Amino acid sequence: MRRWLDPALRQAPGWLLLAGVLSSCAPVLNLQADRPVSYASEATRDSPLKSRLAPLIPAGASGFHLLGGGQAALAARLGLAQRATHTLDVQYYLFHNDTTGKWVSAALLAAADRGVRVRVLIDDIDTADKELRLATLDVHPNIEVRLFNPFHTRSANLLVMGWQALRDSVRLNRRMHNKAFIADNQLGITGGRNIGDEYFGAHHDMAFLDLDVLAAGAIVDALSQSFDQYWNSIAAVPASALPVETGKARLQRATQYLNQFRTEQLDSAYGRTLTAADPLPGLLTGEIAWQIAEASLVVDPPDKVLNPDEATSNLLIGQLAGLGLNPRQRALIVSPYFVPGATGMAYFEYWRSQGVQVDVLTNAYAASDVPLVHAGYANYRIPLLAAGVSLHELKPLAEPTGGRLRDIGRSTSRASLHAKTFVFDDAHVFIGTFNFDPRSTRLNTEMGLVIHSPELARQVTAMIERAMRPERSYEPRLVSEPGKKGEMIHRLQWHDIHRSQPRVLDVEPETSAVQRALLRVLQALPIEEQL
């Protein structure tokens, strides 16, 4: 057996040797599978959606509606699938096979059965146990599924996946984080949400604070063009290349199951809540007003995952800089994974020197789902506070404030921030997938809309400021004290309101001594560029 092992592997530690052997035995993608080029429906093509929107959105203009609540966000996606007559283009980083994942899959199948062409593009980071499901969807004559930047060796074994990640680290460390749901090139949704229960208020234990935006009009064509770029990229491999056996019989069984599942869910308490939260009926009749505004799509090129040397000017961060959105009064930054780095610190220090108020909302350690990234953020807390930046860390469980905890789900669920947005000068709003960290900047592909609308800015600011209230978030503050040798020593205190009373904490809130020790270890790791 050793004759076909990589020479370097022969000298590897035992676990690497085992991983290499397992990898050599695992099935692989058929990279020669056909990849027909296709494009979005022409924006000028007639459709019921276009007719309904024509009197509501001026020609050549764009309209927007915020999707803050999870139920409204899911209902809007299902509504787009139900109303599409020509095309559905769906692009996500994660697409779970849970309640909402099944519901969306059922909606896509129903659209395909009506003759709608459905294209589904999923990043391959979390598809190892979903291959048969994806390949079965792909059997439908009106559905095509592609995997972005896939693992060539197919296995759910962590050793095999780890071995591939080591051997092809430059490519596989770069993921497609984009999120879009587009119907007939007339309506599109983008923002922070993947497809999964925790994003839509359907998870019993976890509820994400998240934000999407529903777009109509001219800007949707830009969303579709971006989707086409990714779809036709060399990094997008068809699901037909997967080494799994499926067919029409399995598709028929899956369709029957999902249709029955959808019927049962519609009759559930969650389903009835979903129906009531759907904003599309009001938006398509004019009962709910669209916010008409100018906007720009900023999006990384798909080649970012293949070319580590892609010019910064071509990336999302370069496009943002080109828009000249320098705040003059206030910058409100929301990022669940917040690691500003030297460049971010330079921006914040400059803004503060110009008198700009800078407020940041991120996750508390106890609320974060990625402690390693929180460690990267923790290294910057004292410098940020010293520069005059105000920090707010979302609690994992918010206390009652006399009103419903909007957009975070049940108050008994563990809350975690997942929205990625910022507001400049109460006039310009970014809503998208971009986290303020090195991974979003240099490694993953990201996208977002920059919308020039004081009204949307007001709405987003109100959502954020509710989340920053001391009942819902901790506010770290800097305490400076003289040391034994006369030098100034800086430490942190966390301020909040607990059981209706102000409170001050001297250690990371809601953490154990072991967790705090782990955080100190993680802070020392030299891996910031990977966070």
pTM: 0.93
Q: Is residue 21 part of a domain?
A: no
76 plus 181 within the same structural domain: yes
Q: Is residue 215 part of a domain?
A: yes
- CA-based end-to-end distance of the chain: 38
Query: The domain that contains 248 carries what CATH number?
Result: 3.30.870.10
382 plus 267 within the same structural domain: no
409 plus 487 within the same structural domain: yes
100 plus 156 within the same structural domain: yes
Q: Which of 257, 285, 313 is the last residue of a domain?
A: 285
How high is the pLDDT of residue 5? Answer: 35
275 plus 310 within the same structural domain: no
Name residue, tokens 């009942």: 471
Q: Per-residue pLDDT for the chain (531 aa), expressed as one digit of tens each?
A: 323 334 343 444 554 555 455 555 678 899 889 999 999 988 778 899 999 999 999 999 999 999 999 999 999 999 999 999 999 999 999 999 999 999 999 999 999 999 999 999 999 999 989 999 999 999 999 999 999 999 998 877 778 777 787 888 889 999 999 999 999 999 999 999 999 999 998 887 888 999 999 999 999 999 999 999 999 999 999 999 999 999 999 999 999 999 999 999 999 999 999 999 999 999 999 999 999 999 999 999 999 999 988 899 999 999 999 999 999 999 999 999 999 999 999 999 999 999 999 999 999 999 998 999 999 999 999 999 999 999 999 999 866 544 333 443 344 568 899 999 999 999 999 999 999 999 999 999 999 999 999 999 999 999 999 999 999 999 999 998 887 777 778 899 999 999 999 999 999 999 999 999 999 999 999 999 998
Q: Is residue 3 part of a domain?
A: no
Q: Is residue 370 part of a domain?
A: yes
How far is it, in rounded angstroms, from Cα 342 to Cα 37? 41
Q: Is residue 342 part of a domain?
A: yes
255 plus 382 within the same structural domain: no
388 plus 274 within the same structural domain: no
Q: Is residue 204 part of a domain?
A: yes
How high is the pLDDT of residue 170? Answer: 87
How high is the pLDDT of residue 388? Answer: 97
How high is the pLDDT of residue 18? Answer: 53
Q: Strand 180-183 vs strand 87-92: parallel, antiparallel, or unpaired?
A: antiparallel
Q: Fill in the amino acid letter for 393.
A: E
How high is the pLDDT of residue 20? Answer: 55
Total domains in the fold of the chain: 2
How high is the pLDDT of residue 411? Answer: 44
Q: Which of 236, 264, 285 is the last residue of a domain?
A: 285
Q: Is residue 13 part of a domain?
A: no
278 plus 327 within the same structural domain: no
250 plus 351 within the same structural domain: no
The string over 419-430, giving b where at least 16 C-beta atoms fall within 10 Å of a residue's C-beta and e elsewhere, is bbbbbbbbbbbb
How high is the pLDDT of residue 473? Answer: 97
33, 144 contact by CB (below 8 A): no
How far is it, in rounded angstroms, from Cα 33 to Cα 243? 11
How high is the pLDDT of residue 157? Answer: 75
347 plus 278 within the same structural domain: no
Q: Which domain holds residue 463?
A: 297-530
Strand arrangement, sheet containing 473-482: 294-299, 447-452, 428-432, 421-424, 330-334, 357-363, 390-394, 473-482, 488-498, 501-505
How high is the pLDDT of residue 10? Answer: 41
499, 480 contact by CB (below 8 A): no
How high is the pLDDT of residue 414? Answer: 83
How high is the pLDDT of residue 407? Answer: 41
Q: Which of 262, 285, 308 is the last residue of a domain?
A: 285
Q: Is residue 7 part of a domain?
A: no
341 plus 441 within the same structural domain: yes
* Residues that are catalytic: 177, 179, 184, 418, 420, 425
How far is it, in rounded angstroms, from Cα 340 to Cα 205? 30
How high is the pLDDT of residue 14? Answer: 53
173 plus 305 within the same structural domain: no
How high is the pLDDT of residue 488? Answer: 79
